Amino acid sequence: METITPTDRPTAATRFPRGPASTRLELRAATAAVHERLHHLPAFAAIAEGRLGVAAYGRLLLALHDFHGSLAGAADAACAVLGADALRAAGARRRELLRADLEAVGASAPGGAEPIALGGARAVGCLYTILGSTLGGKLIHRQLDYLFAGAAGRRFFAGAPDDGARWRDFGIRLDAYGRGLDDLTGLVEGAHVAFRHFAACVERHS
């Protein structure tokens, strides 16, 4: 598994001109391959097959805790860029759910993760990846029926009832932001930094 640094680029010297489609759809296309690869990470594949045990699930939560902790500052910076205070509050609530799940499975939440500082378009691209992960999280929440009888332990993946509305609001803000950019390179880089950091966090806790 490759390690990443905040300065990683999706591919060397790649530029992403702004096309006529929505910025969000362009980001989706530019990250489709790395997103698809995450589905094959052993922990997610094992959840999909109903065979990840509680201890390994706890390690996955620790990886998520690292991921969201280290990118919390970048996510907040992106919310400021987009003028989206409600998204910032939702992010903080999401991190609280994660800590509650860690406690529920008996894994202790470690101290603060090393922050990854991103600003401007790269922070917004990073927020795209962070927020988009709530969509897949709903699916994972259902897959976890085999491990949990109730809500405890999988509240993070369940997310909040207004996640869909938040995602749509983000998409509108992202498209408006993208229309003001000459190209989408910074956005795509930020989204890739987050995807690759996710894979690195999972690897670290495997």
Give the span between the Cα atoms of 67 and 202, in whole angstroms.
9
Q: Which is nearer to ligand HEM, 107 or 131 (CB)?
A: 131
Minimum Å distance from CB 130 to ligand HEM? Answer: 7
Instruction: Give which of 52, 148, 146, 63 is closest to 98, Cα–Cα.
Output: 63
Minimum Å distance from CB 86 to ligand HEM? Answer: 19
CB distance 48 to 90 below 8 Å: no
Q: Which is nearer to ligand HEM, 148 or 192 (CB)?
A: 192
Q: Which is nearer to ligand HEM, 107 or 191 (CB)?
A: 191
- Sites of contact with ligand HEM (CB under 6 A): 24, 28, 35, 38-39, 44, 128-129, 132-133, 135-136, 139-140, 194-195, 198
Q: Which long-range contacts (CB under 8 A, 24 or more apart) does 52-55 make?
A: 52/147, 54/105, 54/106, 54/147
Q: Which is nearer to ligand HEM, 46 or 109 (CB)?
A: 46
